[in-house]
Structures are given as structure tokens and as C-alpha cells.
Amino acid sequence: MNNIALGRYLPLNTIINKMDPRSKILILLVMMITVFLPAGFIGYVPILIFIATALYFSKLKLTYALRALKPMIWMFIFLLVINVLVMRTGTLLISWGWFKVYSDAFSQTAYIIIRLTLMIILCTVLTATTKPLDLTLGIEKLLKPFEKIGLPAHVIAMMISIALRFIPTLIDETNRIMNAQASRGVDLENGTMTEKIRAVLSLIVPLFVSAFDRADQLADAMEARGYDPSATRTRYKVLKMTNVDYFAMAFALVVFATDLVLCWI
């Protein structure tokens, strides 16, 4: 559980860390849209170049960003099995009685895996280089114009910030419960499938109880300090974009435009 990187902030002195959170959020949105453009496998090349540049300037290792993929390996295998059984288009690769495997089963699975991998890496870079409070402020500033139509920008930003902040907390809590269960003889790795399910249930139930307890404590602490989401606030930190932010956003738009052109080729 300690290897999970998504949601953890790394206080590094890098160009990416110093960027305005609004620009990083906008860049993430543009890149997410770009990932889903039907530009084929060649369309992922500009995205990979952008990700490699972001990892270089943020001083993050690719292995660190890929840690979040480890829990999803079984999901990838499940997707492959489903596509093999369902897909009936493309070149016939294997024919054994009723069991037939077509090439599109592997290509569609590869598309899904690549897209999920790219999105997870982009989100990991964002959370690793942006403080939760800065991320909250950036989201709130971007949603500020929508308050005119009744959208509670501050409330939404606060909920997202708390959710991101609770990820490493819940990971630490999971490690604590796992160690406590192991000291009582619970084996989470070995045994039959039934024993593993019981072991996981012995982990999930106290984790949910602890999560709800922490949520109650946080709510009580906010109320005790007079927190009012509708109150007018001043800001100690004023966000200001620099040339680096504009250059990074322009880079993201170039990647988006490149993939958009590839869609028509």
C-alpha cells in the first residue's frame, strides 16, 4: 500500500511545482480530451512526448507514476478476457471449435489499457506537484464564473480537496489495520479463495468504520472553528500565472491540435 502514488504530494523544488494550479488543471482537462481522440496508436506519440516532458521537469520517475497501475492489473486481464469472448471483428487469429479469437479483441484492449495508463500518469503528476490547498483554490477559481448560475464552486472544490487529502490517510490506515490483523493470525496473501475473501472482509469493515469516524471528526472540527461555506473569504495566497504556465498550456494545445489533425488523416 505504501507504493501507491496517486494523491500524494511531493514537496520538490521544480518548475512544475511552482506553476499556477489553474493552468495545471486546465492542461489536465485538455490532455484528458486528447487521450480519447480517435487518432489511432500514432496519436499517443505526442501525448507521450508531453508526459515525458512533464516528468522530466517535475523530477518524477516513470516508475513512481506507474505505481498506481499495480492494483489495476487484474482489471486489465478481465478486460482482455471479456474482449476475447465478445469481439467478433478483425482478423481471425485462433479457431478451436466454438472458441474463436479475433485481432480486434487485443487492439481494443490495448486502446483501453493505454488510455487508462496515460490518464493515471497525468493525474499522478498533477497531485504530486500540487498542494491539496492549492488544488482547491485552483478549482474554486476556475468554477467561480459558474456561481452566477447557482453552482457552489467553493463547496465542490472543498469536497475534491478533502477526497484527495484522504487518499494517503486511508492508505496509512489500511497498513495499520493489515498489521493489526496479521498480528492476530490473519493471512491476507495465502489460503483458499474463501479464506482470502474472509480476510479482505476483516480488512474492509474496520477500514470503513475508521473512515466514517475520521469524517465525523473532520466535520466536528470544521464546525468548532466556525466554518461556513457561504461566507465571504479573503485569500492569503493570490494566484498569478507566469510565462511558464502560458507556455505549458500552449504545449498542451499543440498536442491536442496534432491529434485532432491525425483524426482526419
| 3-state secondary structure labels for all residues of 47-105 | HHHHHHHHHHHHCCCHHHHHHHHHHHHHHHHHHHHHHHHHCCCCCEEEEECCEEEEHHH
- The predicted model gives 237-264 an average pLDDT of 91
Buried b (16+ CB within 10 A) or exposed e, 17-55: bebbbbbbbbbbebbeebbebebeeebbebbeebbeebb
Q: What is the pTM of this model?
A: 0.75
pLDDT, tens digit (0-9, with 9 covering 90-100), for 190-203: 666 676 677 777 77
pLDDT, tens digit (0-9, with 9 covering 90-100), for 16-60: 999 999 999 999 999 999 999 988 889 999 999 999 999 999 998
Buried b (16+ CB within 10 A) or exposed e, 164-200: bbbebebbebbeebbeebeeeebeeeeeeeeeeeebe
pLDDT at 186: 67
C-alpha cell at 229: 461555506
Q: What amino acid occupies position 74?
A: W
C-alpha cell at 150: 447557482
As a whole number of Å, the end-to-end CA separation of the chain is 44
Cβ(157)–Cβ(139) below 8 Å: yes
Query: Under DSSP, is residue 184 helix (H, G, I), strand (E, B) or coil?
Result: coil
pLDDT, mean over the chain: 83
Cβ(106)–Cβ(79) below 8 Å: no
Using CA atoms of 143, 128, 120, 201 in order, give the dihedral in degrees to the nearest 10.
Answer: -100
pLDDT at 141: 86
- DSSP string of 207-225, one letter each residue: HHHHHHHHHHHHHHHHHHT
Count other C-beta atoms under 10 Å from residue 134's C-beta: 20
pLDDT, tens digit (0-9, with 9 covering 90-100), for 214-242: 889 988 998 898 887 777 766 677 788 89
Closest Cα partner for 159 from 176, 175, 143? 143
CA of residue 189 relative to chain centroid, distance: 26
pLDDT at 232: 72
pLDDT at 51: 93
pLDDT, tens digit (0-9, with 9 covering 90-100), for 112-152: 899 989 998 998 888 889 887 788 888 888 888 888 888 88
Closest Cα partner for 129 from 248, 238, 9, 3? 9
Q: 1 falls in which pLDDT band (50, 70, 90)?
A: very low
- The predicted model gives 151-171 an average pLDDT of 79
More confident residue, 2 or 115: 115
Give residues with Cβ within 8 angstroms of 49, minimum separation 6: 255
d(C-alpha 157, C-alpha 55), whole Å = 26
Listed by start position, the domains of the chain span 1-152+240-265
